[in-house]
Amino acid sequence: MDLTPPAGLDLSESKRPELYGAYSATYALALVAFGLRMLSRTLISKVGLWWDDYLMCIAMLTATANFAIMIDWVNHGVGQHIYLYGMPGLHHFLLNLFVVEILYTLSICFTKYSILMFYWRIFGMSNIRYPIYLIGFVVTGWGLGVIFTTIFQCLPVHGFWDKTIPSHCGVNVNNFFIGNAVPNILTDWALLTLPLPYIWKLQRSASQKLALTGVFVMGGFICIISIVRLVIMLNAYKVPSLDETWVFVGPSKWTAVETNIGIVSACLPSLRPVLTFMKQKVSSTKGSRDESLQESYKRYGSLHSSGKRGKRLGDEDETALTLTAISVRTTLDVEASYPAVAR
């Protein structure tokens, strides 16, 4: 395989900072959301962990492994032209691609399993369990299909990353990415819309139902990310190129974004106890400060030499407190809105 750089190519180009930023920022968001979820379930609400939490732990572990591999990926050439690294660089890129595809699939699957079990828990013994079974079956079939295709796309298997040995690779890259992404996108939308009919059957006010719907619809962002990733994948491989480490910048970035933001979206509905705890802390702090201000007003709010009473110090604080209270009251407890399920 000839890895001589084309004439006029600027080998000093680098998109490594862009990749480090995308990987690290989205992973940090996922880690914070996951940590707050565990804090909420174990220390604040003290209800303990259930199956949706355990599945999210597995999703976070695979996302962490994926993050580590992708950082190593960039350290060994992704974001720069392959011609700087030669055959050893291509070998390293393809081996990491092989591992990343498996870890990505596992993280996506366990994130979706966690969401399904969350629905199972909060909606109780309703008929939502039948579509949960169906979506879980589709997600499992998709995951197994992607993993086995990734492993056996070349025979022998290590022929995928070791181009020095004779091997047969019979998978078309574009067809594989389409076959990978389309069922993933469909199950994303299915997970997004699944709880909505059950929310609107609740005996609650229209404003409460809208607020609950909004909590779940926030997860729709991941549906958009999945579509963007597919488009970028197809554009990247529209024209065959040996410059894999440069061509794969966009796909690798959006793979990390989809994996990590998927975890964030799945954790958001479980964070209400954290918000309540923070509200209570803020309220108690503001209450103490208001009492102090009122006491100061009583003691020092006498007439000044000008003959006018001094300005009441608490006006701005009361306005801020009122706005904060309005904001907090629009936040509904998703989990508390449904009957508890026996653990």
Residue 254 lies in a domain: yes
Mean pLDDT of 156-174: 87
106: which 2 tokens? 């596992």
Higher-pLDDT residue of 196, 32: 32
Structure confidence at residue 2 as a pLDDT band (50, 70, 90): low
Q: What local confidence, expressed as pLDDT, does residue 178 receive?
A: 82
Residue 297: is its pLDDT beyond 60?
A: no
Mean pLDDT of 110-115: 95
Mean per-residue pLDDT over the chain, rounded: 80
Residue 94: is its pLDDT beyond 50?
A: yes
Residue 334 lies in a domain: no
Mean pLDDT of 216-233: 82
Q: Residue 161: which CATH number? A: 1.20.1070
Greatest mean pLDDT among 115-124, 204-213, 284-293? 115-124
Q: What local confidence, expressed as pLDDT, does residue 285 receive?
A: 66
Look at the chain and report how many structural domains it folds into: 1
Residue 340 lies in a domain: no
Residue 343 lies in a domain: no
Residue 116: is its pLDDT beyond 60?
A: yes
Which of these ranges, 59-73, 79-93, 163-177, 206-220, has the smallest mean pLDDT?
206-220
Structure confidence at residue 321 as a pLDDT band (50, 70, 90): very low
Query: Residues 8-15: contacts with CB within 8 Å, 24+ apart?
Result: 9/81, 9/83, 11/80, 11/81, 11/83, 11/84, 13/80, 13/81, 13/246, 14/79, 14/80, 15/79, 15/80, 15/246, 15/249
82: which 2 tokens? 């392959």
Q: Say what the pTM is.
A: 0.79
Residue 28 lies in a domain: yes
Structure confidence at residue 37 as a pLDDT band (50, 70, 90): very high
Domain span at residue 216 reads: 15-267
